[in-house]
């Protein structure tokens, strides 16, 4: 369980995150999305205990985010995750297992099992000689070396080829099946829509929508119906492939068309439902096309002195 209450982070006069509150249940994949500068990464880092909030609190697996013991319950995969390139995947993961005091025999089995699940074949090749996709899989394996209850994945599939991307997304779904709690953030909203149980949409530091994708679609989107008939009606038009079609907004309109078609000696032969995607909802809600941060001063500051990285963030 993750509880975030009144979370706020300010840098001088700029509020990067404004009074965010939400709860994430065990075994849930929870999406955090928004345009650049919306406060996503700042929120994730506060939950991970890497940034101290200005106000509010975050509780992870029963621990305050600032409690060092919380780190043993957390696996964190940042968007940029440098590895020790002179190591091999096996030696690299053993090194982090030692940092977490994972017994050697347990670590050996866990490393092998995780790399099997991630389909990483080259386990004794130098990391510096591996592809970006392979390195990302090793970073994901590192996030699991301490068998945490909670995982934070920031852009886990960014820049990967389609095959590796599908592998990472499927692995994320498997983590839910293992009763892991996953916070998932990505700019590719199709990825978010395909794996997340619930989502929050952030803009200018605030949560502007929340719920399942279906909930958000129902509250903020518009569903339309394409109704195809085998007879001309005043409401229909002829499509490029010669079919007769009407586009309506409600099921009551669909039923009216069906009655009109039957009264004219015809029938409705097909009905297609068009629902807005998470991306289209996102663009409508934020009023932009993810072209970049709202202003140079309003981006999440990179110049803030960083806390000493934990085992999850080698430098």
Q: Is residue 302 part of a domain?
A: no
Q: Does the pLDDT at position 187 exceed 80? A: yes
Q: How many CB atoms lie within 10 A of CB 174?
A: 11
**Greater confidence, 311 or 66?**
66
Q: Does the pLDDT at position 271 exceed 80? A: yes
151 and 16 in a common domain:
yes
Structure confidence at residue 76 (pLDDT):
95
Rounded to two decimals, the pTM is 0.76
Percent residues over pLDDT 90 in the chain: 71
158 and 88 in a common domain:
yes
Instruction: Say if CB 171 and CB 118 are below 8 A apart.
Output: yes
**How would you classify the pairing of strands 150-154 and 74-77?**
parallel
Q: Does the pLDDT at position 292 exceed 50? A: no
Show contacts of 282-285: CB within 8 Å, 24+ apart: 282/33, 282/189, 282/201, 284/220, 284/221, 285/201, 285/203, 285/208, 285/209, 285/220
Helix (H, G, I), strand (E, B) or coil at 20: strand
173 and 185 in a common domain:
yes
- Structural domain containing residue 247: 224-274
Domain count, the chain: 2
Instruction: Say if CB 256 and CB 246 are below 8 A apart.
Output: no
174 and 56 in a common domain:
yes
Helical ranges in the chain per DSSP H: 40-47, 89-99, 104-117, 132-143, 162-177, 189-195, 213-220, 251-263, 278-286
**How would you classify the pairing of strands 268-274 and 224-229?**
antiparallel
CATH of the domain at 212: 3.40.50.300
238 and 198 in a common domain:
no
The model's pLDDT over 27-36, given as tens digits with 9 standing for 90+, comes to 999 999 999 8
145 and 78 in a common domain:
yes
Q: Could you give the CA distance from residue 32 to residue 186 in angstroms, rounded to a whole number?
A: 8
Q: What is the DSSP letter of 308?
A: P
Q: Could you give the CA distance from residue 139 to residue 134 in angstroms, rounded to a whole number?
A: 9
Q: What are phi and psi of 273, to 5 degrees?
A: -100, 130
Q: What is the DSSP letter of 70?
A: G
- Structure-block tokens of residue 196: 């997340």
Q: Is residue 211 part of a domain?
A: yes
The model's pLDDT over 62-100, given as tens digits with 9 standing for 90+, comes to 999 999 999 899 999 998 888 999 999 999 999 999 999
247 and 193 in a common domain:
no
- Structure-block tokens of residue 171: 């692995």
**How would you classify the pairing of strands 74-77 and 268-274?**
unpaired
Instruction: Say if CB 213 and CB 196 are below 8 A apart.
Output: yes
Structure confidence at residue 297 (pLDDT):
34
147 and 112 in a common domain:
yes
Q: Is residue 133 part of a domain?
A: yes
């Amino acid at each position: 369980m993750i509880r975030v209450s009144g979370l706020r982070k300010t840098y001088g006069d700029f509020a990067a995150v404004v009074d965010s509150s939400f709860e994430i249940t065990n075994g849930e994949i929870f999406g955090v999305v928004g345009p650049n500068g919306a406060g996503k990464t700042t929120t994730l880092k506060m939950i991970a205990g890497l940034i101290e909030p200005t106000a509010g609190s975050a509780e992870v697996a029963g621990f305050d985010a600032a409690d060092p013991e919380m780190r043993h319950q957390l696996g964190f995969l940042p968007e940029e995750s440098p590895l020790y390139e002179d190591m091999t995947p096996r030696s690299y993961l053993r090194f982090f297992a030692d940092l977490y005091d994972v017994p050697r025999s347990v670590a050996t089995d866990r490393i092998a099992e995780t790399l099997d699940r991630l389909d990483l074949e080259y386990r004794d090749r130098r990391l510096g000689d591996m592809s970006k996709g392979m390195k990302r899989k090793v970073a994901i394996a590192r996030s699991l070396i301490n068998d945490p209850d909670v995982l934070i994945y920031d852009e886990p599939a960014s820049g990967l080829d389609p095959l590796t991307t599908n592998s990472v997304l499927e692995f994320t779904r498997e983590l839910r099946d293992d009763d892991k709690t996953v916070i998932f953030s990505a700019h590719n909203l199709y990825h978010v829509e395909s794996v997340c149980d619930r989502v929050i949409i952030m803009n200018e530091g605030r949560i502007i929508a929340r719920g399942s994708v279906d909930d958000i679609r129902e509250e903020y989107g518009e569903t339309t119906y394409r109704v195809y008939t085998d007879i001309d009606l005043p409401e229909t038009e002829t499509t490029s492939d010669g079919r007769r079609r009407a586009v309506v907004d409600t099921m009551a309109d669909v039923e009216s068309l069906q009655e009109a078609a039957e009264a004219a000696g015809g029938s409705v032969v097909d009905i297609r439902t068009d629902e807005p995607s998470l991306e289209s909802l996102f663009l409508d809600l934020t009023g932009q096309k993810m072209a970049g941060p709202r202003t140079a001063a309003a981006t999440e500051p990179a110049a803030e002195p960083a806390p000493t990285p934990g085992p999850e963030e080698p430098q």
